[in-house]
Amino acid sequence: MSDSDSAAIVLAAGKGTRMKSDLPKVLHRIGNRAMVHHVLDRVAEAGIERVAVVVGAGAQEVTDAVSPVRTALQDPPLGTAHAVLAARDLLEGFDGDVVILFGDTPLLTADTIRHMLDLRRSPADPGVVVLGFRPADTAEYGRLIVDGEGRLQAIVEHRDADEEIRRIGFCNAGITAVDGRHLLSLLDAVGNDNAKGEYSLTDIVEIARSRGLDCAVTEVADPDEVMGVNSRAELAVAEGVFQRRLRARAMAGGATLIDPDTVYFSHDTVLGRDIAIGPQVVFGPGVTVGDGVTIRAFCDIEGARISAGAVVGPFARLRPGARIGEEVSIGNFVEIKASSVEAGAKVNHLSYVGDSRIGARANIGAGTITCNYDGFAKAETDIGEGAFIGSNTALVAPVTIGPGAIVGAGSVIAKDVPADSLAVERSTQKVKAGWAEAFRVRRRGKRKAMQTDETG
């Protein structure tokens, strides 16, 4: 649903000093997606198309990352009200509603954004709607001063609060929705006479009240949603919350997770129904899993498409460009990269398959390696349908094995093999009858002689 009456401004100019990183804070990832992208995804999900990101530290990197979403530069950063004013261009002449979000608060849901906008447009017509929460530790948050009828009177920053106000447990999550008809004039009235010397967005509440506008507050249903990330430790906590959401979504969609806490999804993992996932499975970006697939324990999967009924693992690694066909079997210690394994084929043990096509129902024996790299360039291997590759075969690419061909175990295959033929490349086997027994007799005799020498 598109909402042309709303705009969003995502504040992301902060330095993120505590991350101790060369990467701008909002580009650190959760579930393989940058935090600022999580926020922009939720804004899009809420139907908002008019969006700007306020950048400062690492401006160019953040601008490149969020493109084509527009950015506004705030330099130097003088507070959250000053930051919103940096996006003045987005707001000039816009009289819809504006929701202000933080780029380092990636777990907010689209439902909460919608709820705030709905409240903004409710019959009470509040000029400002603030999102509140009750953190276990109120330490650094602004406190919400609410009157007897639940209307928001003011927000007082922790540093500016007296003991009585500091005892208030209801805090400002920072996310704010404002009537766009008033926003610019409210922001222009904000001063910087406070402990931090900053132009604070929170001041618009009192300014709005002084102009006779109502202000409202709504409490977020799940406090995890408004968790901000300022350090690597907090990034890990946010990742944990996000992973729990993805696991719950996977199970709700019809996947069985034997030990959910040990399975790591990516923000974009797509799962069908009746999938079984064993313990210790990690999904990187870009994975699609079809119906009825079984992924056994200890697999690492990235950029892969796994079709219906396939079985993968245990201990398999699927790398970008792996396309696993229907009913395919990929077994233990098998690595597949940029290759298509067609329906019903089997690669069950100890293989590397790269830049290859394995035709339908082909059987790739244990220890088969496609030698796809000569130190300079990659080359391709093509294995026809129904081919049988014996164990411990090296396929030196570029090479083609025709449909129905058989390659004898232990071969190094550097030339094409025609359809339905046998290729075997190994030295002729020598058999010396009785040699082993004669060898043992000889060796035993020698040992006996030595022992007699020692004791005699």
Question: Would you tell me which residues interact with ligand UD1 (CB under 6 A)?
Answer: 11-14, 54, 56, 74, 77-80, 82-83, 102-104, 141-142, 155, 157, 171-174, 200-202, 228
The interface region with Mg ion, picked from 41-49, 119-127, 227-235, 357-365 by CB under 5 A, is 227-235
Question: Taking the complex as a whole, how short is the minimal distance between the CB of residue 313 and ligand UD1, in angstroms?
Answer: 40
Written in H, E and C, the secondary structure of 7-43 is EEEEEECCCCHHHCCCCCHHHCEECCEEHHHHHHHHH
> Nearer to ligand UD1 by C-beta: 103 or 284?
103
Report the nearest approach of ligand UD1 to the CB of residue 247 (Å): 27
Residue 140 or 147: the one with the smaller Cβ distance to ligand UD1 is: 140
Instruction: Copy the structure tokens of residue 285.
Output: 């970006």
Q: How far apart are CA 446 and CA 78, in angstroms?
A: 91
Rounded Cα–Cα distance for residues 251 and 265 (Å): 12
Tell me how far the alpha carbon of residue 10 is from its chain's centroid: 20
- Among 37, 115, 158, 349, the one annotated catalytic: 349
DSSP class of residue 58?
Answer: B
372 contact, one of Mg ion, ligand UD1, none, CB 5-8 Å limit per kind: none
Q: What is the smallest separation between the CB atom of 48 and Mg ion, expressed in angstroms?
A: 23
Render the burial of 45-67: b for 16+ CB within 10 Å, e for the rest.
ebbbebbbbbbbbbbeebbebbe
**Measuring CA to CA, which residue among 328, 138, 105 is closest to residue 227?**
105
Partner whose footprint covers residue 132, from Mg ion, ligand UD1, none (CB < 5 to 8 Å by kind): none
Give the residue nearest to Mg ion (CB): 228
- Nearest by Cα to 131 from 180, 183, 179, 172: 172
Segment contacting Mg ion by CB under 5 A, of 58-66, 205-213, 228-236, 311-319? 228-236
SS3 label, residue 247:
helix
With CB under 5 A as the contact rule, which of the stretches 131-139, 225-233, 242-250, 411-419 interacts with Mg ion?
Answer: 225-233
Nearer to ligand UD1, 10 or 312 (CB): 10
Say which entry of Mg ion, ligand UD1, none residue 82 contacts (CB below 5 to 8 A, set by partner kind). ligand UD1
- With CB under 5 to 8 Å by kind, the binding choice for 12 among Mg ion, ligand UD1, none is ligand UD1
The least CB distance from residue 14 to Mg ion, in Å, is 7
Question: Residue 228 or 278: which CB sits closer to Mg ion?
Answer: 228
Of the candidates 142, 193, 194, which has an alpha carbon nearest to the alpha carbon of residue 171? Answer: 142
Minimum distance of Mg ion from residue 173's CB (angstroms) = 10
DSSP state of 253: T
Q: With CB cut-offs between 5 and 8 Å by kind, which of Mg ion, ligand UD1, none does residue 205 bind?
A: none
Q: In this complex, which beta carbon is closest to ligand UD1, that of residue 86 or of residue 397?
A: 86
Provide the minimum distance between the beta carbon of 46 and ligand UD1 in the complex, in angstroms, as a whole number: 18
182 is catalytic: no
Q: Which stretch binds Mg ion (CB under 5 A): 32-40, 43-51, 78-86, 221-229?
A: 221-229
In the complex, minimum distance from the CB of residue 228 to Mg ion, in angstroms, rounded to a whole number: 5
Q: Which does 102 bind (CB under 5 to 8 A by kind): ligand UD1, Mg ion, none?
A: ligand UD1
What span, in angstroms and rounded, lies between the C-alpha atoms of 129 and 251?
Answer: 35
Question: What secondary structure, in 3-state letters, does 364-379 show?
Answer: ECCCCEEECECCCCEC
Interacting span for Mg ion (CB under 5 A) from 65-73, 111-119, 223-231, 375-383: 223-231
111 or 140, CB closer to ligand UD1? 140
Q: Which stretch binds Mg ion (CB under 5 A): 129-137, 207-215, 222-230, 297-305?
A: 222-230
Query: CB 16 → ligand UD1: shortest distance, Å?
Result: 7
d(CA 4, CA 290): 36
DSSP string for residues in 155-222: EE-GGG--HHHHT---EEEEEEEEEHHHHHHHHHT----STT----GGGHHHHHHHTT--EEEEE-S-
Residue with smaller CB distance to Mg ion, 228 or 402: 228
Other beta carbons within 10 Å of 382: 19
Report how far residue 27's alpha carbon sits from residue 33's, in angstroms, rounded to the nearest whole number.
Answer: 8
Report what 57 binds from ligand UD1, Mg ion, none; CB cut-off 5-8 Å by kind.
none
Nearer to ligand UD1, 159 or 181 (CB): 159
Helix (H) or strand (E) holding 346: strand 346-349
Token reading at 271: 């799962």
Q: In the chain, how many H helices and how many E strands?
A: 10, 37
Name which of residues 6 to 45 contact Mg ion (CB under 5 A). Answer: none
Residues marked active site are found at 349
Which residues of the chain form contacts with Mg ion (CB under 5 A)? Answer: 228
